[in-house]
Chain A
Amino acid sequence: MKKQRVVVAMSGGVDSSSAASILCEQGYEVIGITMVLWDYDTSGGNIDNEKSCCSLQGIINARNVCNQLKIPHYTINLKKEFEENIIKYFINEYLGGKTPNPCIRCNTLIKWKYLLSRAEKLGARFIATGHYARITFNNATGRYELRKGADKNKEQSYALWGLTQNALGKTLFPLGEWTKTRVRKYAEMKKLKTEKTSESQDICFIRDNNYKRFLLERMPELENKLKGGKIIGKNGSVIGTHDGYPFYTIGQRKGIGVSIGKPAYIYKIDPIKNEIYIGTKKDISGKSMIVNQCNFISLNKIEKPIKAITKIRYKDPGKLSLISPLPDNRLLVEFIEPANSITPGQSAVFYQNDIVIGGGIIQNPL
């Protein structure tokens, strides 16, 4: 029988490299592909002072690993798609007073859209990544289900809530049953030439992790336009000024530059008035929120309120909540116990045990 062709998205790191190796062992015809998504010319923040168009080391590592595995490796240029769908969104979200999550959006709109489409054009049956998550098929519902990865600490289902049924049916997660420790040992045993250094950083196109610098380089006019915005205290009085609302995020504690006698948190951002609101820990907790742009995975849609564990950030263990349908693909989420830092722009993902019901984008706390 002809081997099934799989395109593996390879970053050069230990996870995707191991995924590729495992798929080879499982008898697939594996093609390694590294996406080129941005360059220093347009993103700045060249901390390594690299002369290349983007961060080259990952590509070199991926190529080396493919060489070891005796499989072909290619790079594909998705810079235009990434600029249009991710970077512009990233900027606009901050300008709207929200806190974007570009990685999740990249999964939905780049990897499981453009990369998947390229893979299909290359005759691949599947794409695969090194994510720690599982896909199963439920015969009763006739739907693919996304489940948490076996490694409780590493599992990444939160970042994958945007995957459609079509995408899930064409995806393999070879590391779903693996722990990170086992993957590291495996890569070591196989002597895979992966990057020894740290985990993937926060935002790939902001190498120096300084998104303020990034926004100001993209829009230098922001500096003068927004400088001196008001910081509003709990009683409504102005207690200081700030550099511009996009440079702050809900729940932020450090780097605000005011003192209120207790730990101060940002609990609200008003992009229209360029104001940020400071309060104490209790001000950032909320009992309910509206979530929009929902995608449902284990169910086709939610027709009546159901109970679910809701995660509102990657490392959030999740809180019991009641989720109820609203018009326009939105949900009302009511937490049984208040949740901290409900941050507009971030993702909310709903679980039943280890199954992802679906997810969406936090529109606003109520």
Chain B
Amino acid sequence: MEAIYLDHSATTPVDKRVIKEMLPFFDEKYGNPSSIHLFGREVKTAIEEAREKIAEVINAEPSEIFFTSGGTESDNLAITGTALSMKEKGDHIITSTAEHHAVLDTARFLQKNGFKVTYVPVNKYGIVELEDIKEALTPRTILISIMHINNEVGSINPISEIGEFARENNVLFHTDAVQSFGKEPIDVKKDNIDLLSLSSHKIYGPKGAGALYIKRGVSPEKIIHGGSQEGNRRGGTENVPGIIGLRKAAEICLEEMENERKYLNKLRDYFWEKLQENIPDIYLNGHPKIRLPGILNVSFPGTDSETVLISLDLKGIAASGGSACTSGSIEPSHVLKAMGVSPEIAQSAIRFSLGRENNKEQIDYTVKNLKEIIDYIRKI
């Protein structure tokens, strides 16, 4: 059996159709989009078309899409940029304990620089509750940043309610939609979203490309200074092939989202069923229904994530657990901790994230090996 990739929430393979679109932008259409000449102009046009496509996916205006190097930069621009631009109005930010590190670390950075941050809790499913946000709101609050879909357990936050609440209280609302963009329907107008981070490499696009949606009238301070690219909101020559790749990846998602959701839902349910049939004493982390189709986060008490992941890797099966630090060692998941699960469950959690190239045969092979691994570790 060839190696099996079940870590699509970490990154995805680039779709062949995406690569094909990107290739000309390396050697044929290599102009700098800021140049006035023919070479530049044709590239500029392609970038503007990409902007239109991204806008279409989330029901934004093309002029509200700003390309960045990816989800992390988008989060930084959204949060730090807003804090800097709104500091006359207030100094308080609300986010949650289960956010991605791109948000949490940015919030901590701002705390070190004089801003105040409230980290609202999540419930046992990893979902933020509006009541907690209401309680955290102060007259000094300038921004609420709550992720759309949690990257570790796949639970979906009530962004529509949060957006409405933020709008009523005249506070900006940012959502990190890196895990949901192209996979779950998003409507920035309907959901009252002011800022939305998205990334290319989670949806079969290339790494190093992403975007921030900034609602018209909202104006985060620039954090990458240089040229006046991207409406003077982000300096630096555009990653043209990346942007083109992001566009194509988004286009494919737009066309295939419904089918893919159905497929991944079915495959994940099959996976979970087989796991339950074959391995006793296992737990599903996250919400059983309100969740992204592809993610299955399971705990195997009596084992530890690291040993299971290494054993799986030695069998050619790629999954993940918690979040890896620079050393590559796994830190206990802050998301599971935030959900209040027991240490036993937190330490033995494995995240499987399925993608469009996975199939039943691979799931069967995975379950068979996983059963052997879990039985062995529990026995020894």
Contact = CB atoms under 8 A, between A and B. Distances in A.
Contacts of B326: 52-53, 56
Contact of B327 (A31, A56, A118): A56
Contacts of A14: none
Nearest to A118: B307
B321 to A, nearest CB: 11
Contact of B380 (A53, A54, A56, A120): A120
B307 A54 contact: no
Contacts of A75: 327-329
Interface string A30-71: 010010100000000000000011101001000100000000
B331 interface: yes
Nearest to A119: B307
Contacts, number: 50
A76 B380 contact: no
Given A76-B306, A77-B306, A122 B311 contact: yes
A123 interface: yes
A76 B306 CA distance: 7
A53 B327 CA distance: 7
Interface string A113-141: 00000101111000000000000000000
A54 B326 CA distance: 9
Interface in B351-380: 376-377, 380
A74 B377 CA distance: 18
B314 interface: yes
Interface in B244-262: none
Select the residue from A34, A36, A52 with max chain B CB neighbours within 10 A: A36
Contacts of B306: 74, 76-77, 118
Interface string A73-92: 01111000000000000000
A54 B327 contact: yes
Select the residue from A54, A72, A75, A77 with max chain B CB neighbours within 10 A: A77
B3 interface: no
Contacts of A77: 306, 329-331
A121 B380 contact: yes
Nearest to B324: A75
A53 B380 CA distance: 31
Which size class do B's interface residues fall under?
10 to 19
Given A52-B326, A72-B313, A77-B306, A121 B376 contact: yes
Contacts of B303: 121
Interface in A196-227: none
Interface in B302-353: 303, 306-307, 310-311, 313-314, 325-331
A231 B326 CA distance: 46
Nearest to A60: B327
B331 to A, nearest CB: 7
A122 B314 contact: yes
Nearest to A52: B326
Interface of A is mostly: mixed
A219 B303 CA distance: 35
A51 to B, nearest CB: 8
A347 B277 CA distance: 53
Contacts of B376: 121, 123
A36 B380 CA distance: 23
A48 to B, nearest CB: 14
B333 to A, nearest CB: 12
Interface string A161-176: 0000000000000000
Contacts of B380: 120-121
Contacts of A123: 311, 376
Nearest to A5: B314
A74 B327 contact: no
Nearest to A63: B328
Nearest to B377: A121
Select the residue from B307, B311, B313, B376 with max chain A CB neighbours within 10 A: B307
B327 A72 contact: no
Contacts of B331: 77
B172 to A, nearest CB: 30
A63 B327 CA distance: 10
B310 A122 contact: yes
Contacts of A59: 327-328
A30 B380 CA distance: 21
Nearest to B311: A122
Interface in A221-259: none
A228 to B, nearest CB: 36
A116 to B, nearest CB: 11
Select the residue from B306, B311, B313 with max chain A CB neighbours within 10 A: B306
Contacts of A52: 325-327
A58 B328 CA distance: 12
Nearest to A36: B329
B340 to A, nearest CB: 19
A173 B197 CA distance: 52
A56 B311 CA distance: 24
A28 to B, nearest CB: 14
Contacts of B307: 118, 121-122
Contact of A36 (B310, B311, B327): B327
Contacts of A31: 310, 314
Nearest to B308: A121
A54 B313 CA distance: 24
A30 B255 CA distance: 46
B70 to A, nearest CB: 19
A253 to B, nearest CB: 39
Interface string B157-196: 0000000000000000000000000000000000000000
A74 B311 contact: no
Contacts of B330: 77
Nearest to A58: B327
Contacts of A36: 327, 329
A167 to B, nearest CB: 16
Select the residue from B307, B310, B329 with max chain A CB neighbours within 10 A: B329
A90 B303 CA distance: 29
Select the residue from A34, A54, A120, A123 with max chain B CB neighbours within 10 A: A123
A56 B310 CA distance: 20
10 contacts: A31-B310, A34-B327, A52-B326, A56-B326, A59-B327, A75-B327, A75-B329, A77-B331, A121-B380, A122-B311
Interface of B: 303, 306-307, 310-311, 313-314, 325-331, 376-377, 380
5 nearest A-B residue pairs (beta carbon): A77-B329, A36-B329, A75-B329, A52-B326, A75-B328
Given A36-B327, A121-B307, 9 more contacts: A31-B310, A34-B327, A59-B327, A63-B328, A72-B314, A118-B307, A121-B303, A123-B311, A123-B376
